[in-house]
């Protein structure tokens, strides 16, 4: 299959998961990600795996918790309202240090909101969402090809760090088709899982998977261990892409769909003599604050422009990283609308004083 084929984002996620060795999927229907479940319904059977349509998102994430505790490569997917319901399970997965992959094809909110694309779950995904002090690794693909690459990576990261790893897409990425090139075979190297419940088989003491620690000192130690792990993830796994930042006067910061649209504007701005660069966070957590910190200290950088499909959530992280050294402007669309290239270009002209 050494040829690019046209596939829908949601289906690519599902195919990537199967190729990455995922054989257990638990889900509940919700637009705009249900094609993941449709695809899994037949693909898992072909691959000798399991697809369970759960009674709710709450049940689905708890099935994931059970399957992860049992040592499986496991995934669930949903969209914003369903992800809210899963937050309880996320917290337990974090507390019990289980590896799991969750896909959020974000739609517009709050409440039932709409089914069109948004990035309004940024806070929820990166700052917690559920209760307690925990983090999830959050990956933000920007193309169908990257949906494939990052879904595969998500399983490896989840198992390496025993953490929930989220694919944070949006309705555009889930619903659109674009060419994708699959590798012939996915190398699957899974770490040992001596902690998993498999039955003792008479070979070891009994294992327990739990997130409850009644003694303060015990629980504090667990938290300290978790925080140390999160620091390691931040040091090892922070990912981003930069485009044309070496001499840019304005740095656009955008992820996912917004970064695609912004990328095309860079050329248009250059035609008008405005040098624009792009920083595209690929991990939303850990957030690539270091590169923004560095750029904010460069003489050629005059300002930052954060572009999101929300009211300015990543904006707070950008401002923290820039730390007041440069102005940080914002352009956001909500309700399911996407910014147009024209809108972005106008904003850039305004910042550059060319309007």
**Torsion, Cα of 319, 343, 308, 275 (10° steps):** -50
3-state helix/strand/coil string of 19-88: HCCCCEEEECCCCCCHHHHHHHHHHHHHCCCEEEECCCHHHHHHHHHHHHHCCCCEEEEECHHHHHHHHH
CA distance 32 to 68: 25
Q: How far apart are CB 206 and another protein at their closest, in Å?
A: 5
Q: How far apart are CB 209 and another protein at their closest, in Å?
A: 4
Q: How far apart are CB 113 and another protein at their closest, in Å?
A: 13
What's the token pair of residue 32?
């705009």
* Closer CB to another protein, 31 or 223, in the complex: 31
Q: How far apart are CB 67 and another protein at their closest, in Å?
A: 4
Beta bridge partners of 104: 78, 168
Q: Is 70 in the site for another protein (CB under 8 A)?
A: yes
Determine contact, residues 136/166, Cβ cutoff 8 Å: yes
Site mask for another protein (CB under 8 A), range 278-317, x = bound: ----------------------------------------
Site mask for another protein (CB under 8 A), range 236-275, x = bound: ---------------------x--xxxxxx----------
* Closer CB to another protein, 115 or 274, in the complex: 115
Q: How far apart are CB 137 and another protein at their closest, in Å?
A: 21
Size of the site for another protein (CB under 8 A): 64
CA distance 349 to 240: 25
Torsions phi, psi of 58, nearest 5?
A: -65, -45
Straight-line distance from the first to the last Cα atom of the chain, in angstroms, rounded to the nearest whole number: 49
CA distance 295 to 244: 12
Q: How far apart are CB 331 and another protein at their closest, in Å?
A: 14
Name residues contacting another protein, limited to 185-214 (CB under 8 A). Answer: 197-202, 206-212, 214
Name residues contacting another protein, limited to 151-190 (CB under 8 A). Answer: 171-172, 175-179
Binding residues for another protein, rule: CB under 8 A, are 4, 6, 24, 26, 31-32, 50, 52, 54-56, 58-60, 62-72, 74, 88-89, 92, 96, 115, 143, 171-172, 175-179, 197-202, 206-212, 214, 257, 260-265, 338, 340-342
């Amino acid at each position: 299959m050494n040829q690019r084929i046209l596939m829908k984002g949601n289906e690519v996620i599902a195919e990537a998961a199967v190729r990455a060795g995922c054989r257990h999927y638990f889900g509940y229907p919700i637009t705009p990600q249900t094609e993941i479940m449709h695809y899994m319904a037949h693909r898992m059977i072909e691959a000798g795996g399991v697809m369970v349509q759960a009674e709710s998102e709450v049940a689905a994430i708890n099935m994931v918790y059970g399957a992860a505790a049992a040592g499986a490569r496991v995934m669930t997917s949903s969209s914003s309202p369903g992800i809210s319901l899963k937050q309880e399970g996320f917290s337990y997965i974090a507390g019990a240090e289980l590896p799991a992959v969750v896909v959020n094809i974000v739609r517009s909110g709050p409440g039932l909101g709409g089914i069109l694309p948004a990035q309004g779950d940024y806070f929820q995904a990166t700052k917690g969402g559920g209760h307690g002090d925990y983090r999830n690794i959050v990956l933000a693909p920007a193309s169908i090809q990257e949906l494939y690459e990052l879904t595969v990576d998500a399983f490896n990261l989840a198992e390496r760090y025993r953490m929930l790893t989220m694919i944070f897409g949006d309705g555009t990425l889930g619903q659109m088709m674009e060419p994708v090139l699959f590798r012939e075979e996915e190398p699957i190297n899974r770490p040992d899982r001596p902690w998993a419940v498999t039955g003792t088989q008479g070979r070891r003491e009994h294992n327990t998977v739990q997130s409850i620690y009644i003694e303060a000192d015990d629980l504090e130690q667990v938290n300290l261990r978790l925080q140390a792990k999160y620091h390691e993830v931040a040091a090892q796994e922070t990912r981003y892409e930069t485009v044309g930042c070496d001499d840019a006067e304005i740095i656009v910061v955008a992820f996912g769909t917004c970064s695609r649209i912004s990328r095309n504007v860079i050329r248009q701005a250059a035609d008008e003599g405005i040098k624009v660069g792009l920083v595209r966070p690929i991990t939303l957590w850990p957030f690539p604050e270091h590169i923004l910190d560095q750029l904010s200290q460069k003489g050629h950088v005059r300002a930052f422009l954060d572009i999101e499909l929300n009211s300015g959530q990543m904006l707070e992280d950008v401002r923290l990283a820039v730390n007041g050294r440069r102005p940080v402007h914002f352009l956001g669309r909500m309700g399911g609308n996407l910014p147009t290239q024209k809108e972005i270009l106008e904003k850039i002209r305004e910042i550059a004083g060319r309007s």
